[in-house]
Chains A and B, each alone.
Chain A
Amino acid sequence: MAFTSVQFVVFLFLAATSYFLTPKRYRWVTLFLVNYIFYFMAGAGYFIYLLATTITIYLAGVKLGNMSAKNKADFAAAKGELDKEQKKAWKGNFTKKKRMVLIPALLFNFGILAVLKYYNFVGANLNALLERFSIGAEVPVYSFLLPLGISFYTFQSVGYLIDVYREKYEPERNLAKFALFISFFPQIVQGPIGRYHILAEQLYRPNTFSYERVKFGIQLMFWGAFKKLVIADRAGVIVDTIFGYPDTFGGTYVAVAAFVYCIQLYGDFSGGIDIATGAAQVLGIQLEKNFERPYLATSIPDFWRRWHITLGAWFRDYVFYPLSLSKFFMKVGKKGRKVFGNYIGKLLPVLIPQFIVFFLIGIWHGAEWKYIAFGFYNGTLIVLGILFDQPLKKLMEKFHIKTECYSWRLFQVLRTLILVALGKIITRAPGVSASAFMVHSMLSNWDGDILINGGLLKLGLDVQDLWVLLFSSLVLLTVSLMQESGIHVRETLSKQNLLFRWIIYLAAIFSLILFGVYGLNYNASDFIYRGF
């Protein structure tokens, strides 16, 4: 059930109606049932995977909670008789015991994800190796269908379990409530990845109907649909044409494709997130922010703080910090200082885990070499950025370059956008060698004339569609700039006079109807991140 389909709108309407008509005490039960109906409609065969994750993480969470409660009581009783070293040993022993519960649960759940998502990739590469060395064996390749939202719900539930392991909060002891937490229908498809201490309470409490909130929710859904149907799907035509025929469309066309793909991906993913957030808002639930105008970022680290925020935060809290603060990397840092000096040595516990995180973010996107290359590309940019930060600052001081001005900010934004667009070529091209071919073609056959001599009309869109794409992208840019300067667009709009408000609403509705659909037989394409 695509977010932009009529079925989804009808489903949300029925879900909201039944939710608000249910007696307050049982509203969470209705929400739980609605989620499971949604997931069941997406494919009954997927259910087993969701149930497996729900049950194993739930049981592990309860077990960890019980262990922590008992340990606290035992420790409080024995504390007076223990010296500092004994207390430390006690803590260490208890951590080991907890890991005996945590690790199997993580292995099981990441194991499901790994088998479904990466088995064929590993198998195909192993087969290529076996063939190369003329070994007459073959790894069987199966065609697995990825359960809906498996990456998202696995990450969400694993995050919960690690927090319980860290004793950040008590585990959820009601299985149905826990199942509700990892299956909330607007966000299970493509995020944002929720955190238990922020999301769960909102799902369990009886939210009441609020006209204002429902209105804002619907407005956000419209905005998301506009980004997806008017901008992203239209941009996708150009992107598909150029990336589909890299031999025909080389040179400047590659740069066009890279930038238009940036627009498409943002419209597609953030549009989907807006629809999810709006739908949740209708039900009285505020999802976490997943985007903060990423293309206005001034550096690559800044871009990653603004793009897919909940995934970045997940990797920061559950991979980056545990790695960089581990005894191993602390030792690496100390040794590094002796070998490479203070500056580099201090950076090592940050740089190596950062690289590992980007490798993982790369393969999170898919089981293909190009995603691994994408991870390395971003990891390298970030590492270089850190290494050259201080020398560059000194250089700028030497040449008296002003950094507190608009032109410098503009330069930073454009530089970041170009680097991001280059990264997008890696993920969108059919493979790593194809992206290298395209970048080479862009640099060696530059011909700016295609931008004005009708060259853009060969890419599948007519003049009218190109204007619609340009205009709607400018609307998106304007709204982004307004938000960047602290203007809350929906709130500001709601304070305007009735006539002005309705002119804007009707313009939005008609633009969606007129420009959101291509002809009678056109179907909105799937959301790109739904596949991850």
Chain B
Amino acid sequence: MDTLLKILVELRPDVDFEDNKELVDSGELDSFDIVSLVGELCEAYEIEIGAEDIVPENFNSVEAIMAMVVRLQED
């Protein structure tokens, strides 16, 4: 979780990642952020994230992103 938070804060230092549970739905993260974030996640966790995984539910909160990462690591 710490690694993920570090990636997120580096990407968007202005966003409150710990409290915001609607990162995508509230428009806080846009498509450019998502693509940059996916690149970082793939590298850091050695996973493959496809376009099918890019749904708001997977990116709305730190917990949701972590859950997706864990799921893809298990796959």
**How far apart are the CA atoms of A87 and B72 in the complex, in Å?**
12
Known: A87-B75, A301-B30. A349 touches B51 (CB 8 A): no
Contact of A349 with B75 in the complex, beta carbons under 8 Å: no
Q: State whether the Cβ of A346 lies closer than 8 Å to any Cβ in chain B.
A: yes
**How far apart are the CA atoms of A346 and B51 in the complex, in Å?**
18
Interface residues of B in 47-61 (CB under 8 A from A): 49-52, 54-55
Contact of A350 with B36 in the complex, beta carbons under 8 Å: yes
Q: State whether the Cβ of A512 lies closer than 8 Å to any Cβ in chain B.
A: no
Contact of A349 with B54 in the complex, beta carbons under 8 Å: no
Q: State whether the Cβ of B38 lies closer than 8 Å to any Cβ in chain A.
A: yes
**How far apart are the CA atoms of A386 and B32 in the complex, in Å?**
9
Q: State whether the Cβ of A278 lies closer than 8 Å to any Cβ in chain B.
A: no
Closest B residue, CB atoms, query A323? B51
Contact of A333 with B39 in the complex, beta carbons under 8 Å: yes
**How far apart are the CA atoms of A318 and B55 in the complex, in Å?**
12
Q: State whether the Cβ of B35 lies closer than 8 Å to any Cβ in chain A.
A: yes
Contact of A322 with B32 in the complex, beta carbons under 8 Å: no
Q: State whether the Cβ of A252 lies closer than 8 Å to any Cβ in chain B.
A: no
Q: State whether the Cβ of B44 lies closer than 8 Å to any Cβ in chain A.
A: no
Q: State whether the Cβ of A324 lies closer than 8 Å to any Cβ in chain B.
A: yes
Closest A residue, CB atoms, query B34? A321
Q: Interface majority SS on A: helix, strand, loop or mixed?
A: helix
Q: State whether the Cβ of A168 lies closer than 8 Å to any Cβ in chain B.
A: yes
Known: A87-B75, A316-B31, A321-B31. A346 touches B52 (CB 8 A): no
Residues in B neighbouring A386, C-beta threshold 8 A:
32
**How far apart are the CA atoms of A26 and B1 in the complex, in Å?**
51
> By CB atoms of chain B within 10 A, which of A320, A322, A324 has the most?
A324
Q: State whether the Cβ of B42 lies closer than 8 Å to any Cβ in chain A.
A: yes
Contact of B51 with A166 in the complex, beta carbons under 8 Å: yes
Contact of B52 with A349 in the complex, beta carbons under 8 Å: no
Closest beta carbon of chain B to A325's beta carbon, Å: 6
Known: A87-B75, A330-B39, A349-B39. A325 touches B32 (CB 8 A): no
Contact of A325 with B30 in the complex, beta carbons under 8 Å: no
Q: How many residues of A contact B (CB 8 A)?
A: 22
**How far apart are the CA atoms of A168 and B58 in the complex, in Å?**
13
Q: State whether the Cβ of A484 lies closer than 8 Å to any Cβ in chain B.
A: no
Mask of A324-366 contacts with B, CB within 8 angstroms, 1/0:
1100001001000000000000100110001000000000000
Residues in B neighbouring A350, C-beta threshold 8 A:
31-32, 35-36
Known: A87-B75, A325-B49, A330-B42. A346 touches B36 (CB 8 A): yes
Residues in A neighbouring B39, C-beta threshold 8 A:
330, 333, 346, 349
Closest A residue, CB atoms, query B50? A325
Contact of B36 with A325 in the complex, beta carbons under 8 Å: no
Closest beta carbon of chain A to B15's beta carbon, Å: 15
Interface residues of B in 1-44 (CB under 8 A from A): 27, 30-32, 34-36, 38-39, 42
Q: State whether the Cβ of A201 lies closer than 8 Å to any Cβ in chain B.
A: no
Residues in A neighbouring B52, C-beta threshold 8 A:
166-168
Mask of A47-88 contacts with B, CB within 8 angstroms, 1/0:
000000000000000000000000000000000000000010
Closest B residue, CB atoms, query A319? B51
Known: A325-B49, A333-B39, A349-B39. A317 touches B54 (CB 8 A): yes
Contact of B51 with A325 in the complex, beta carbons under 8 Å: yes
Contact of A321 with B32 in the complex, beta carbons under 8 Å: no
Residues in A neighbouring B51, C-beta threshold 8 A:
166, 317-318, 321-322, 325
Closest beta carbon of chain A to B33's beta carbon, Å: 9
List 9 A-B residue pairs with CB atoms under 8 Å apart, sorted by A's residue number.
A91-B75, A168-B52, A168-B55, A305-B30, A322-B51, A325-B35, A350-B35, A354-B32, A386-B32
Top 10 nearest A-B pairs (CB, nearest first) are: A166-B52, A322-B51, A321-B51, A324-B35, A321-B54, A350-B32, A350-B35, A316-B31, A325-B51, A325-B38
Given A167-B52, A321-B34, A350-B31: 20 more A-B contacts, CB < 8 Å:
A166-B52, A168-B52, A305-B27, A316-B31, A317-B51, A317-B54, A318-B51, A320-B31, A321-B51, A321-B54, A322-B51, A325-B35, A325-B38, A330-B39, A330-B42, A346-B36, A346-B39, A349-B35, A350-B32, A354-B32
